[in-house]
Structures are given as C-alpha cells and as structure tokens.
Amino acid sequence: MPHFTTSDGTEIYYVDQGAGQPIVFSHGWPLNSDAWAIELKVFADAGFRAIAHDRRGHGRSSRSYAGNDMTTYARDLSELVNHLDLREVVVVGHSTGGGEVVRYAAQFADGRVSKVVTVGAVPPIMLKSDSNPEGTPIEDLDGIRAAVLKDRSQFWFDLAEPFYGANRPGAQVSEGAKQDFWRQGMLVDLPAAYDCVKAYSETDQTEDLKAIDVPIFIAQGDDDQIVPIAAAAEKSIKLVTQGTLKVYPGAPHGIYGAYQDQLDKDILDFIKS
C-alpha cells in the first residue's frame, strides 16, 4: 500500500490509479479514501489519473494526536501533490475535504491547481454566529463531540441515517452503504475524530474562497442535513470570482445513488469545459 511521510513525520496513505491529468479527491469526516472508490474508477476509466488519500488520523494513515486542523490538512495535501510532482491538478473535496481543498488551493497550491470542486463543503464557516445565523449551533457541535467520546461506534451507525438521507420518506439507501459508513468511521483515531469537529465547523475560510484564482464548481444537495446549504454553498458562491453553483434537488449530504451518478457526470463536464 503506498504511503508517503510528511514533513512532521506523519505517514499518509493514498490510492493512485490511471494516467492523464491528475484529479485528487479529499474525503469527508469521518471517512477515508474508500469513500471515493467509485470516483477513482470512473475518472481513471475516463482518462484521468485519480488519486485519493486518507487524511491524517483517518483510515490507513498515521494516528496523529497533533495537526488535526484545516491548515495542517491542507499542508499534508500540498506535500502529497509535491511528492507525486502533480501539475494542472483538479482538487475535489467533500464536506471537510471541501474545506481542505479550498485552503490548499488558496494558500498552498503554488500554481499547481487548475480547477477546484467542492461537494457539500463546509466553507465559508459552519458555526452559527450573529454574522452567520444560518450555521450550526455550538450546542449541536458539542453534542457531536460528546457522542464521539462516549460511544463512537453507535454514533457512526446513527449518523449514517441523516448523512445519506435514509431517514427521509421513500429513501432507498442500502444497508451495505450505511454499514460501510460505520466501517470507515471506526478506522478514525478518536483524537482525530474529536478534534476534526472543531476543524470543520470553526475554521473561517472566507478569505480562502476570495483568494482562489481558478474556476471552482460548488455542488450541494438542498436536503443536506449535515452542512446547512444556506451557510455553505449559497454563501461560498458569492465569495469566489470564477464560481459555478449547482444545487441538487432532494440530494443529501452523502454522495450516493442517483445523486452520485449525476454529480460525477457534472464534475467530468466541468473539468473538460
């Protein structure tokens, strides 16, 4: 299994498939690169070099007590891109991974990024405040931390329901998909899972979005129960200079089913445009 070691000694696992223009995928919390398994094949089959990594503390990467913050995540991504000497990179990030690729493109890309894609992403900031009344209350985020600390195994089972919209009438989400969410969640180191809540919810990325100087495709489902769309995609599109927003009616936070099929097609179209 391929790994590389970051400048602070953290081992990062990654998958590298296909050949052509590179596309690097960054996963959401509490998942890992397995969340992009379908995309890795779809995009490699379409003639791209498809790469996905396990964030530090997640999946098969090092258990990392330190560095569970958005800047370190973006720096890790930068070091992976530099390690592989990738150019004209398209970065794609879901949820927390969306924050990671936005910070990377804004602060660490050094001319290597050609396009950015975010899906259900946390920027500009998820936390509710007087200036961001559409956000998530700190009490809800504290509840997530408490649940992770108390019984993370049960919490991952419970979280899979709203993550994929399986709690909606008529939803068709397989038991296998929900159990795979649980499986990936159980691979997260507890400190990384706990600290990442602060990273994804309290990092203000307003200036990152303003600094992105390449085209960005911002995608989100309008039935996202995890990241409020009014605090996320609908605000992000107003901050970028070369943005395209697409809202998917009825789509949840998790990338699954018909939503996944259409999203992958739209990302391909965006990259080729």
How does pLDDT run across 81-106, given as a tens digit for each residue? 999 999 999 999 999 999 999 999 99
Tell me the pLDDT tens digit for each residue of 123-140.
Answer: 999 999 999 999 999 999
Mean pLDDT, rounded, for 241-248: 98
pTM: 0.97
pLDDT of 210? 98
Average pLDDT, the chain: 97
Q: Which two tokens stand for residue 230?
A: 């009014």
| CB contact burial 54-66 (16+ within 10 A = b; e otherwise) | bbbbbbbbbebee
Q: How confident is the model at residue 177 (pLDDT cuts 50, 70, 90)?
A: very high
> Tokens 């159990």 sit at which residue?
179
Give, in order, the Cα–Cα distances in Å from 133 to each of 121, 128, 208.
Answer: 17, 5, 21
pLDDT of 170? 94
Q: How confident is the model at residue 196 (pLDDT cuts 50, 70, 90)?
A: very high
- Give me the active site residues, please: 95, 224, 253
Mean pLDDT, rounded, for 262-270: 98
Are 113 and 41 in contact, with CB atoms under 8 Å apart?
Answer: no
> Hey, what CATH topology would domain 3-272 get?
Rossmann fold (3.40.50)
Mean pLDDT, rounded, for 181-208: 98
pLDDT of 102? 98
Q: Where are the domains of the chain?
A: 3-272
> Tokens 């600290």 sit at which residue?
195
pLDDT of 198? 98
| 244, pLDDT greater than 80 | yes
pLDDT of 64? 83
Q: How confident is the model at residue 259 (pLDDT cuts 50, 70, 90)?
A: very high
